[in-house]
């Protein structure tokens, strides 16, 4: 194993049960693989889940300075806690801040039998 960061995961990895992630919240996941460590997060909106690689396209830093603190206080957007960039929760497109026009890298996740899994 090495310490490099990777930006993709294999399919079918169970991350957590849907009810372990509160509706309207986001949660960090770190997966250790042979190729290195993956850092991502999942946002839940009802029965819909969206996953993203935890890296701001502006500065390359993880988005949250505090564990699982990915959303704006009103829950409408994903926010970079370093430079204030705002991202759409469904597609990761930057809608404001220093990286307007760029997007978060999607991390394919799905809901399978009430489990959030990598897709």
Distance CA 81, CA 31 (A): 22
Is the pTM above the cut of 0.85? yes
Domains of the chain, each with CATH number or no CATH = 19-111 (2.102.10.10)
Mean pLDDT by 10 residues, the chain (119 residues): 76 97 97 93 96 93 95 97 95 94 96 97
- Identify the burial level of 66 via C-beta atoms within 10 angstroms of its C-beta, where 0-12 means exposed, 13-18 middle and 19 or more buried: exposed
Strands 5-6, 36-45: pairing is: parallel
């Amino acid at each position: 194993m090495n310490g490099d960061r990777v930006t993709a995961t294999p399919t079918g990895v169970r991350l957590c049960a849907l009810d372990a992630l509160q509706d309207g919240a986001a949660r960090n996941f770190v997966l250790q693989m042979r190729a290195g460590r993956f850092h991502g997060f999942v946002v839940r909106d009802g029965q819909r889940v969206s996953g993203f690689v935890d890296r701001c396209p502006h500065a390359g830093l993880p988005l949250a300075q505090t564990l699982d603190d990915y959303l704006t206080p009103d829950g409408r957007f994903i926010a970079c806690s370093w430079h204030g960039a705002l991202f759409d929760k469904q597609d990761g497109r930057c809608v404001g801040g220093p990286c307007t026009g760029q997007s978060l890298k999607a991390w394919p996740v799905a809901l399978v039998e009430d489990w959030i899994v990598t897709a």
